[in-house]
Amino acid sequence: MRLTETLIFILAVGAALLIGLTSMLPAGIYSSAGWHAFWAAVAVALTLGIVKGRLWRDIPAFIMHISFLCMIAGGFCTSALSRRGTLHLLPSKTADSFVTTDGKTEKLPCAVTLLAFTQEHYPGMNFPRDFRSVLTTADGDTMRISMNHIGRMDSYRLYQTSFDEHGGTILTVTHDPAGMAVSYTGFLLFAIGGALWLLRTATTRRPGRKAMAACAALAFAAMGCGEAYAVPAVDARSADSLASRQVLFNGETVSFTGFSTRLTYKLTGRDKVAGLSPEAFVASLIKYKEDWSKVPFIKIKSKPLREALAIEGKYAAVTDLYDAAGNYIPAALYKGGAGPLDKDIISLDERLALLIDLWKGELFTPLQRGSKELRPESSIKAEMLYYRINPLRIAFIIAILTVAVIAIAFMAGKKMPTFPLTATAGAAGIAAYAWLWHISGSVPLSGASDIMEFAGVCMGLLSCVAAWRKETELLVALGMAASSFLLLVAMLGMKDPVLSPVMPVLASPWLSVHVSLVMLAYAVLGFTLPAGVSALALPGQRERLTSLAVSLLGPGVFLLGLGIITGSMWANVSWGRYWAWDPKETWSLVTLMLYSIPLHRYFRMRRRPIFCCVYLILAFSSIIMTYFGVNLLPSLHAYN
């Protein structure tokens, strides 16, 4: 690189990493003069790039750069001009003002009165599914506000935030017409510019164009406990008769097989206990409470916690958790959230609470014939078969076998058709995910295990595309290895399922749109890792593989940008702000910036294959930080 080019490259990477560093600093950094000066400098740099590069001659690139300027300008407008506060209304009470975040009182466009506040619960549960406020204005209009449904008064927006114990509602009030208008203009321009750029690239004869077109099409298609115990068992025939019974669990109608399988995984981390099927295990738990309380079957993953509780092995009995006086031992170890064992204690508490609710008869509700919550028998049979066959495990086995066969052939120096193998693995992954989607009734993207499975399927499909394009066996094998790893993580996640219903804010159609775009982007950008490694390992294929890796950056960055934008719009609908510098948001921006740098023609990455491949390999660490690293930081998006 020339000296000037090197310095600009270092500054660009340094700016991105500086943004990521702020996620570990106090939140006050985002309102400081230095932070505003930094983004003003970024805006100036973008403007100079547009002028010096005469980007108006390249319409897609010009629109994309203008979109970023609009987003930065929108952020400045929001910071300088917006107002935000809280409105607390009691039943039948009228208010004409709200309290701003800095403690001041500001008038509303007109007075409002709370007619009613209600909580909608999941069927059969006390857990809220939605909060609803009905307001009337002084003009006589009626306003209904709930989670993900905004109330509007002129340019003021009211969001359902919380409630009190007196039947009152707590609303967030925002006033940000200028910031929203400018920022949303930037969002729209980004979508238009990116779509035009992808369309042009997909129709240009250059290496990797088919891969980019395929990625764009994808974007819019969118074992028993370890030890044997003498345990009480129910009659096998009785357990089998329960399998197809429908029960209400966490507000959802599921088969007893589905309920018992997930509960067995949650309590024990296994799909069988002492040779008992999940149905037989749960039925026996219910019938023989006293006997099971002395059997060590509750899995404790944390070795330090097991040592603190003086428990041998990985499993604890209920009686191990209480002293002679009946005191709950882990409670004495809990340090209010600041102790080294607190997270593990909370996890243990969750398992024990489920078990206690089961013994109290409050964990699930059997449904009777004629109940309106009953599902079709065909759907229940599909669910039972899913849990008995475990198609995710089958998809993982096929994927890992595909990796082994391709790797053995590659090391033996023998050419072999990789597309049939990867197509089989890809079809198995799609079938497993589609099956889960069918029995769930909605896109399964709300839990970490579901998200990992989706990413694994996407990575498998990208490997299939690479095999179809007759890319090197090493690249295909590495791509399938990544797919296998993600599917394995999803399988491990199934052993500790989330058994609590989703929070009201997650009950939104934005969830599937936002998460699917982001995870597909991570899969596309993540595929540059095996491409980069393959290019370094195979000098004869280096130029071709480097071109392939760079060609994936366009759709990957575009998809990630759309994912960030849809997440921002969702946040604005739910919380009244489209950006809060949450660690997840911050690092997703860092990832977007790091993978955008090689796209700039100024750096001519394709002409420096070794440097480009090393950069892309290192850039993958930002994806790791974005998805996993933020779990170590206080974040609304942490998958804990």
What pLDDT is attached to residue 392? Answer: 94
Please state, as a whole number, how many other Cβ atoms lie within 10 Å of the Cβ of residue 490.
27
Q: Give residue 207's pLDDT band: very low, low, confident or very high (50, 70, 90).
A: very low
pLDDT digits (tens, 9 = 90+) for 504-514: 777 777 887 88
- The mean per-residue pLDDT over the stretch 470-488 comes to 90
**Mean pLDDT across 101-130:** 82
Q: Is 474 a residue whose pLDDT tops 60?
A: yes
| The pLDDT value given to residue 230 | 53
Half-sphere exposure of 484 (CA within 13 A, CB side): 16
As a whole number, the mean pLDDT across the chain is 85
Task: Give the pLDDT confidence score for residue 122 in this predicted structure.
Answer: 67
Higher-scoring residue by pLDDT: 193, 493: 193
% of the chain beyond a pLDDT of 90: 38
Can you tell me the distance from the alpha carbon of 551 to that of 541, in angstroms, rounded to the nearest whole number? 15
Model confidence at 228: pLDDT above 50? no
Confidence grade of residue 498 (pLDDT, cut at 50, 70, 90): confident
Secondary structure of 113-136 in HEC code, one letter for each residue: EEEEEEEEECCCCCCEEEEEEEEE
Does the structure show a pLDDT above 80 at 210? no
Residue 640 pLDDT class (50, 70, 90 cuts): very low
CA pair distance 603, 562, nearest whole angstrom: 25
Q: Which two tokens stand for residue 454?
A: 């989706």
pLDDT in tens, 372-416: 888 898 899 999 999 989 999 999 999 999 998 988 888 777 788
pLDDT at 419: 92
Give the residue-averaged pLDDT of 521-526: 90
Q: With pLDDT > 70 as the criterion, what percentage of the chain qualifies?
A: 92
Q: What's the whole-model pTM score?
A: 0.79
What would the DSSP string read from start to end of 579-625?
----HHHHHHHHHHHHHHGGG-GGG-GGG-HHHHHHHHHHHHHHHHH
| Lookup result for tokens 């796209």 | 599
Half-sphere exposure of residue 412: CA atoms within 13 angstroms, side-chain side: 9
pLDDT at 343: 84
Q: Does position 221 have pLDDT exceeding 50, yes or no?
A: no
DSSP letter at 207? T
Q: What is the pLDDT of residue 223?
A: 37
Convert the pLDDT of each residue in 250-262 to its tens digit: 878 899 999 999 9
Residues forming beta bridges with residue 315, ordered by sequence position: 299
- How far is 497 from 263, CA to CA, in rounded Å? 8
What's the CA gap between 627 and 625, in Å, rounded? 6
Residues 66, 47: Cα–Cα separation, whole Å? 9
Above 70 in pLDDT, residue 213? Answer: no
Taking only the tens place, the pLDDT of each residue in 300-343 is 988 999 999 988 888 999 999 998 888 888 888 888 777 888 88
| DSSP letter, residue 68 | H
Residue 92 has pLDDT above 90, yes or no: no
**pLDDT for residue 208:** 47
Q: pLDDT tier at 233 (50, 70, 90 boundaries)?
A: low
- Chain segment 550-598, per-residue pLDDT in tens: 888 988 999 999 999 999 998 888 888 888 898 999 999 999 999 999 8
| DSSP type of residue 425 | H
Please name the residue ranges forming H helices in 288-418.
289-292, 303-308, 329-333, 342-360, 377-389, 391-411
